[in-house]
Amino acid sequence: MKLPFPIPRLLLCLPALTMVAAATDPKASHREWQIYHGDYGGSHYSELDQINRSNVKKLQLAWSWKTGDVGNTIECNPIVVNRVMFVTTPQLHAAALDAATGKLLWRFDPWEGAQGRGVNRGVAHWTDGQGDERIFHSAGDWLYALDAKTGKPVPGFGRAGRISHRDGFDTDIFYLRVGNNTPGLVWKDLLILGSTTGEGPQPTAPGHIRAFDVRTGERKWIFHTIPHPGEFGYDTWAPDSWKKVGSANVWSGFTLDAERGIVFMGTGSPANDKWGGNRPGAGWFGNCTLALDAATGRRLWHFQAVHHDLWDYDLPTPPVLARLVREGRTIDCVVQPTKMGHLFVLDRVTGAPLFPVEEVPVLLSDIPGEVSYPTQPMPPKEFRLTTQGFTRDDVTDLNPAAREFVLKQLGDILPAPLFAPPSLRKKAVLPQFNGGCEWGGAAFDPERHTVFVNTSNEVEWTSMVPSRPEARVSLHELGKRSYQGVCSACHGISSPLNPASPSLEKVRERLTRQQVLDLMQTGRGQMPSFASFTAQEKNAIVAFLYGDGHDEIIETKDLQLSFANEIPYVMTGHHEWKDPEGFPVNKRPWGQLHAVDLNAGKVKWSVPLGTYPKLEARGLPPTGTFNMGGPIVTKGGLVFIGAAMDERFHAYDKDTGELLWEFQMEFGGYATPSTFEIDGRQYVVIAAGGGGKPETKAGDRYYCFALPR
C-alpha cells in the first residue's frame, strides 16, 4: 500500500555542540515571582534559600485567603510584583492581594455578578516603567487589560478595556469556541497569546498564534498552526485542511529566550482529535514544539512529538529552557515534556535532538477511512518516564480480588501498546490522555542541570462507534452517541467533573429543556455554540440528558446529522478504568516525581507523588496518585509540589527525592506554587481549589507558608 505521506528516516541527530552565551532574563527576579512559572524560561526556579533542607520542617501557615466563590477549580500560578500578588479565583475573577499578609486590595468580576465558568492558570503583567501598569486576564470569550493598581479595565485597550479571543483571525469564526486558559507572554510591547478551542467532530476554530499590542489590543502578527496554501508545512495536510480542520492550538502558554528573541510553545492536537481520515499526513504544526521569532511570528524551527494524533496527546506545556554540559561545553537547550511521559531534549537554536530520537513503527488503524501514521518519535528509554502501553503484566497487584476483577475484564478490553490507534473494539490506553506529563510542566535547576517533572501513570480505555447508526435508533440512543462524540470531552462520560465545564449529571434539576436548547444555540462562557447541530440532534441530546426518548424511534433514512459525512466515526469517550474499590487497575506507582540529570542523560531519582489515605491507613507505602499541577525548585535544595489527590503540599530534597515536609490542606492543590521574599522573609504560596479532573472536593483557598519569625 502506498501511503499518502513520506515515512521519515531514523532520527539519531547529535548536532554540532557550540558554546553559547547565557541569556539575561529581564523578567527574572531573585526576590519575586513576576511571571507565570517564574521567569521567561519557565524554569520554576528561585534563588531564594532562606527555606532549606535544614529548616523546612518548621514551615507554618503565614496566611490564607478564601476567595468565596467555590465552583470550578483553581489552577493559578500566582505572580508577585512590587509586593502585590495577582491571582485568579474559581469563577475566574482576578484579584490583587498584599503578598505579605493576604489582604485583598482589589477584585475584578468579569461576569458582573453572574456565575463564571472555566479554568484559569494565572495572569500576565506589563508596565512601561513610567506609571502605566497592567494585568492581562482571560475569562470566557474575553481578554481584559486591567489597571494593576485598581483592577479596573483600561479604557484605551480594545473595546472598553477588552478584546475578544476571536479577534485577529483571518477567517470568520464567529460561532466557534475560542478562549484562553493560560496567561499570554508579555515581551516588550507585545502580548503573545494562545487559545483554547473545540476538539470534537463539530466545526472548530483554528489554533493560530497571535500577538497583540499591549497598549491598544491591535493584532501585530499571526502564525498559522494549520498552514495555508503556499506556507511551509502545507503539504503535510490534506489540501483543504486549512479550511476545515481546527485546533492545533497553544493552550498551555509560552517560554522565551529573551536574548535571542525566540518564543517557544507546545501545540495541541488537530480536531477531530480521535479520527483523522479527513486530515491524512503528519499534520504540521499540530503536536509540535515550535520556535518562532517573537517580534514577527516567523517560524524558526519545529519538532513534532506525535504524528497525526488520534489520542488527544497534546503537548501540554511549553518546553522549559535549560542547559547541559557535554565534553566541557555548555549547550542551551529546551526540554519538552509530553502526555506520553516522554522528555525530548532539543537544541535551543536549531531544534535538533541532543539525545537520539528514533522513529518507531507502530500499529496501524483498523477504522475504515483512517490512515494512521506508521511511525512515532521516541526518545531514549531513560527519557520515557511512564509505563508505555498496557499488558497483562501491568495488571494491578494491589490485592488478589482487584487483580482477578481486571483479568476478567481483559476479555472485553484489549491490552494495547503505546500509540495503538483507537478502534471499534475497546482498547487500553497507557498513559491515558491526561498524561504522563501535564500542564504543570517541568522545573529546571541551573545548579545541578537537573529537570524535575511529575507524571501520572493510570490506564483508561477507549472505543469508537460509527457517527451514523446502521439501523433504526431511539432518540435517546442518538443523543447518547452525539453526546459521546461531541460533549464528553468537556463534560465527562457520565458525571466526572472537568476544569473546562461542570458535570451535566443533574442538569435536569438546574435547567429547563428550552434553556438547554437555547444554550446549545448560543453558547455561554467556555461553552461554544452548537448552532450547526440539526434540530434532531439538539432534541436527541436533551432527551439523553433528561433520561427519556427511549420510545421515539428514528429510521435510518430519516436521520439528520450535522457531521457524520465529514467525521464518520466518533469516540465513545475517555473511560476511567478502576478496580471495585475505585483504585487504578494498573500496577503502582500511579503518580511520580522525577529528577532527570541532563548532563548524564538519565533519571537521577523517581519517587511516588502522593498517596491514598485509605491505603495509607492499611500500612501501604505511598502509591502515588493522578496529579495535576507542577513543581518548583529552589536554591535551598527543595522541590515544592502539591498536585496529588492526597490534597497535601509536599517538599522534597532535590538531590535525593526524600520527602522532608508535607501539609494537609483542606482542598487539593492542583496548581503550580510560587515563592518570593518580602522584607527579608521567604514565602511559598499555592492555590488549593480542589475539584477538577482529580474529582476531589472543590475549594477556594490560597495557602501561604513561611518560617516562624
Grid cell at residue 322: 535549560
- Tell me, what's the pLDDT at 557? 74
Q: pLDDT digits over 365-411, tens only?
A: 999 999 999 999 999 999 999 999 999 999 999 999 999 999 999 98
% pLDDT > 90, the chain: 75
- Tell me, what's the pLDDT at 527? 61
Q: pLDDT at residue 20 above 50?
A: no
pLDDT band at 114 (very low <50, low <70, confident <90, very high): confident
Q: Which of 21-35, 326-340, 384-398, 542-556 has the lowest mean pLDDT?
A: 21-35
Residue 472 near residue 555 (C-beta atoms within 8 A): yes
pLDDT band at 63 (very low <50, low <70, confident <90, very high): very high
Q: How far apart are CA 80 and CA 92, in angstroms?
A: 18
Q: pLDDT at residue 10 above 50?
A: no
Q: What is the mean pLDDT of residues 118-147?
A: 96
Q: How far apart are CA 469 and CA 475, in angstroms?
A: 12
Q: pLDDT digits over 626-668, tens only?
A: 999 999 999 999 999 999 999 999 999 999 999 999 999 999 9
Q: pLDDT at residue 16 above 90?
A: no
- Tell me, what's the pLDDT at 17? 35
Strands 94-98 and 104-108: antiparallel
Amino acid symbol at 242: W
3-state DSSP call for residue 95?
strand
Q: What torsion, rounded to 10 degrees, do the Cα atoms 225, 231, 235, 240 define? A: 70
Q: pLDDT at residue 697 above 70?
A: yes
Q: What is the pTM of this model?
A: 0.91
Q: pLDDT at residue 19 above 90?
A: no
Q: What share of the chain is helix, strand, coil (3-state, %, to 5)?
A: 10, 30, 55
* Bridge partner list, 664: 648
The count of other CB atoms within 10 Å of the CB of residue 231 is 14
Residue 625 near residue 658 (C-beta atoms within 8 A): no
Q: pLDDT at residue 495 above 70?
A: no
Q: How far apart are CA 84 and CA 81, in angstroms?
A: 5
Q: How far apart are CA 57 and CA 707, in angstroms?
A: 9
% pLDDT > 70, the chain: 92
pLDDT band at 567 (very low <50, low <70, confident <90, very high): confident
CATH superfamily to which 468-562 belongs: Cytochrome c-like domain (1.10.760.10)
pLDDT band at 12 (very low <50, low <70, confident <90, very high): very low
- Tell me, what's the pLDDT at 561? 75
Q: pLDDT at residue 41 above 90?
A: yes
Q: How far apart are CA 52 and CA 58, in angstroms?
A: 10
What is the sign of the dihedral through the CA atoms of 413, 414, 418 and 421? Answer: negative
Asked if the peptide bond before residue 86 counts as cis, ω within 30 degrees of 0, the response is no
Which residue, chain included where needed, has cell 542541570? Answer: 449
Q: pLDDT at residue 497 above 60?
A: no
- Tell me, what's the pLDDT at 692? 82
- Residue 558, class by beta-carbon neighbours within 10 Å (0-12 exposed, 13-18 middle, 19+ buried)? exposed
Amino acid symbol at 552: E
Rg of the chain over Cα atoms, rounded to whole angstroms, equals 24
Q: pLDDT at residue 96 above 80?
A: yes
N-term to C-term CA, the chain = 72
Q: Which residue has the higher pLDDT, 175 or 319?
A: 319
- Tell me, what's the pLDDT at 490? 62
Q: pLDDT at residue 296 above 70?
A: yes
Grid cell at residue 362: 507502530
512 contact partners, CB below 8 Å, separation of at least 6: none
- Residue 261, class by beta-carbon neighbours within 10 Å (0-12 exposed, 13-18 middle, 19+ buried)? middle
Q: What is the mean pLDDT of residues 69-77?
A: 91
- Tell me, what's the pLDDT at 28? 73
482 contact partners, CB below 8 Å, separation of at least 6: 533, 537, 540, 541, 544
Short-list 376, 354, 356, 353, CA closest to 364: 376
SS in 3 state form for 451-464?
EEEEEECCCEEECE
3-state DSSP call for residue 71?
coil
SS in 3 state form for 2-32?
CCCCCCCCCCCCCCCCCCCCCCCCCCCCCCC
Q: Which residue blocks in 526-621 are alpha helix, DSSP H?
A: 535-546, 613-616
Q: How far apart are CA 94 and CA 611, in angstroms?
A: 32
Q: How far apart are CA 37 and CA 43, in angstroms?
A: 7
CA 52, chain centre distance (Å) = 30
3-state DSSP call for residue 535?
helix
Interior CA angle at 32 toward 30 and 35, to 5°?
A: 105
In order of 401, 425, 575, 579, 582, the CA distances from 404 in angstroms are 5, 22, 20, 10, 15
- Residue 50, class by beta-carbon neighbours within 10 Å (0-12 exposed, 13-18 middle, 19+ buried)? middle
- Tell me, what's the pLDDT at 504? 72
Q: What is the mean pLDDT of residues 687-704?
A: 92
Q: For residue 177, how many C-alpha atoms fall within 13 Å in the half-sphere facing its CB? A: 32
Which residue, chain included where needed, has cell 494491578? Answer: 396
Q: How far apart are CA 696 and CA 692, in angstroms?
A: 7
Helix axes 535-546, 513-522, angle to 10 degrees: 130
- Tell me, what's the pLDDT at 502? 54
Which residue, chain included where needed, has cell 566541557? Answer: 328
- Tell me, what's the pLDDT at 523? 64
Q: Which of 79-88, 236-245, 336-345, 515-524 has the lowest mean pLDDT?
A: 515-524
Q: Which of 184-188, 500-504, 552-556 has the lowest mean pLDDT?
A: 500-504
Q: pLDDT at residue 27 above 90?
A: no
- Tell me, what's the pLDDT at 492? 58
- Tell me, what's the pLDDT at 11? 39
pLDDT band at 547 (very low <50, low <70, confident <90, very high): confident
Helices (H) and strands (E) in the chain, counts: 8, 45
Residue 544 near residue 551 (C-beta atoms within 8 A): no
Q: Which of 199-213, 255-269, 450-464 has the lowest mean pLDDT?
A: 199-213
- Tell me, what's the pLDDT at 14? 38
3-state DSSP call for residue 617?
coil
Q: pLDDT at residue 195 above 50?
A: yes
- Tell me, what's the pLDDT at 503? 62
3-state DSSP call for residue 698?
strand
Report the chain's mean pLDDT, rounded to a whole number: 91
Q: How far apart are CA 448 and CA 444, in angstroms?
A: 9
Q: pLDDT at residue 5 above 50?
A: no
Interior CA angle at 182 toward 698 and 345, to 5°?
A: 115
Q: pLDDT at residue 164 above 50?
A: yes
63 dihedral zone (left: phi>0; alpha: psi -120 to 50; beta):
beta
242 contact partners, CB below 8 Å, separation of at least 6: 206, 224, 226, 227, 228, 229, 234
pLDDT band at 477 (very low <50, low <70, confident <90, very high): confident
458 dihedral zone (left: phi>0; alpha: psi -120 to 50; beta):
beta
